[in-house]
A = this chain, B = another copy of it.
Amino acid sequence: MACTASTASAGKQCFSTRIVRDFQESDLRNLKVDRKRFNDTLHDTCKFGTGQRWGSGQTETGMCRLSLTDSDKEARDWFVQKTKSLGCEVTVDAMGNIFAVRPGRREAPPTFAGSHLDTQPRGGRYDGILGVLSGVEMLQVLNDHAIQTEFPVGVVNWTNEEGARFPIIMVASGVWSGRIPLERAHQLQEVGSGKVTMKSELERIGYLGDTPASHESTPMAAHFELHIEQGPILEATGQKVGVVTTAQAYRWFKVEVQGQEAHTGTTPLNNRADAMLLTSYLIAHSHRLATTHNCVATTGTLEISPGSVNTIPGCVSFTLDVRAPADETLDKIESDMKRDFAALAAGEDIGGLRTGGTRGKPLTVAWQTDANTAATRFHPECVDIVRASAVSVTGSDSLVRDMTSGAGHDSVYTNLQCPTSMIFVPSKDGISHNPVEYTSPEDCAIGAEVLLQSVIRYDRLRSTREAL
């Protein structure tokens, strides 16, 4: 795709066609995104699923764009229309993943930038959205400068990364990678009392594509993902770009505590099997074990039964999300938790939690593993390319650091089938999954330029390699 009147942005200078294979470091360094256009577009698309207002400014609202809702459909329609207008061919697969591909000089699997357009119910404007919108800006810049890549480049929007509406995170890249069966994903029911499934909602909004959801049908040469850090490290160190070398292993457990319902007023403390009191000890203890093992453990959901002010809870179930950089750490903390939870349920004291309390009757604890994802090591070539791009864009390797991703991302699944790495930019106060999530326009633009360079450098690497 050369620069033509129809593909170059109006008002932008159209250089004579430039071929990536011939790019020098200075060419890469001089390649900039249009910061105003990028920022405007990013926030303009936040009209699809605007969430909770947290400030008086025009962009000071969060997002509520749950996967496959009407607002997600609007964002998808915009993405398809926009990438088509930029000269892309668009493919939708059976999971509703959208692949927009800009042709290169030669036919081959494209180098992709990608992330997701869905959000948490009380999410912000950057998580996922930044990764897709920076891919769209990349297409714009390539067109602005009439740049010809050797191989196709693409932008992918992955479905239901958040797992907030259909309760498996990264489910659609998981199907694409072959790790999650299509049928299981299609049958996923909406959380809460909803009756709809992923498949019925894909059909309803018109995004149940004909192409199989598989890395075999839509192969990728590589996958680069720009994402907000969602943590406090870059902000604390004053650095600008995280080169993501690894992603934490994580496991999700559901723990069910079984005690005995009884009347709150008439049951002495020593005659109780209070499921909520034991749960409090277990959550406090899981936090201590996480501290000991230098990892993180969190209880994000909890259900209490029967849920009456004057009935001692007979049953409590809660989730534990445990993450560590190494699989072995998770093995160890899981084993410690299972041993200690059973001891606490039997009435033993651990770490003084029961000191000063009244020993009641024994309870039981049951475990269920809902997710178990091994630690990810991203592809060394992609990691090197991201690092080189970050130093080139920021002008200093002191502004760049290697990082581990605390969160799961679609890149964890793409890494199973193609070279992958990720780019992090700072999150204000380390906050995400929250309406106030914020990354400055400058930092967003730096991230987008690192993404742009990374994709071009990878294309150049491929052409160099094939030329050898």
A interface residue numbers (CB < 8 A to B): 120-122, 163-164, 167, 169, 229-232, 248, 250, 252, 260-269, 271, 274, 276-277, 279-281, 283-284, 287-288, 290-292, 296, 298-302, 304, 306-314, 319, 321, 323, 351-353, 355-358, 370, 405-408, 427, 430-434
Contacts and interface: CB of A to CB of B under 8 A. Distances in A.
Given A264-B296, A277-B287, A163 B310 contact: yes
Given A261-B434, A283-B280, A296-B265, A271 B232 contact: yes
Contacts of A169: 310
A110 to B, nearest CB: 29
Given A267-B430, A287-B358, A292-B356, A276 B300 contact: yes
Given A280-B283, A287-B357, 5 more contacts: A265-B408, A266-B406, A269-B287, A274-B298, A310-B433
A311 to B, nearest CB: 5
A263 B407 contact: yes
B296 A301 contact: no
Contact of A261 (B122, B271, B299, B353): B122
Given A232-B271, A261-B434, A120 B306 contact: yes
Contacts of A292: 356
A266 B358 contact: no
A432 B266 contact: yes
> Nearest 3 CB-CB pairs, A to B?
A266-B406, A230-B266, A231-B266
In the complex, the count of this chain's copies comes to 2
Contact of A268 (B265, B284, B296, B301): B296
A299 B407 CA distance: 33
Looking at A281, A296, A427, A432, which has the most chain B CB atoms within 10 Å of its CB? A296
Looking at A163, A265, A432, A433, which has the most chain B CB atoms within 10 Å of its CB? A265
19 contacts: A169-B310, A231-B266, A231-B271, A260-B431, A265-B323, A266-B427, A269-B287, A284-B357, A298-B310, A299-B313, A300-B307, A300-B310, A300-B311, A300-B313, A301-B304, A301-B308, A302-B302, A309-B319, A351-B355
B280 A309 contact: no
Nearest to A353: B284
A431 B262 contact: yes
Contacts of A321: 264-265, 309-310
Given A306-B121, A408-B265, A284 B287 contact: no
A288 B267 CA distance: 16
Contacts of A370: 309
Given A276-B302, A284-B353, A314 B260 contact: no
A301 B309 CA distance: 6
A274 B433 CA distance: 14
Nearest to A279: B280
A306 B269 CA distance: 32
A380 B129 CA distance: 73
B308 A263 contact: no
Given A276-B299, A284-B277, A304-B300, A433 B313 contact: no
Contacts of A265: 230, 248, 250, 296, 321, 323, 405-408
Contacts of A430: 262, 266-268, 271
Given A250-B265, A298-B274, A309-B319, A291 B358 contact: yes
B284 A434 contact: no
Contacts of A308: 120-121, 164, 300-301, 433
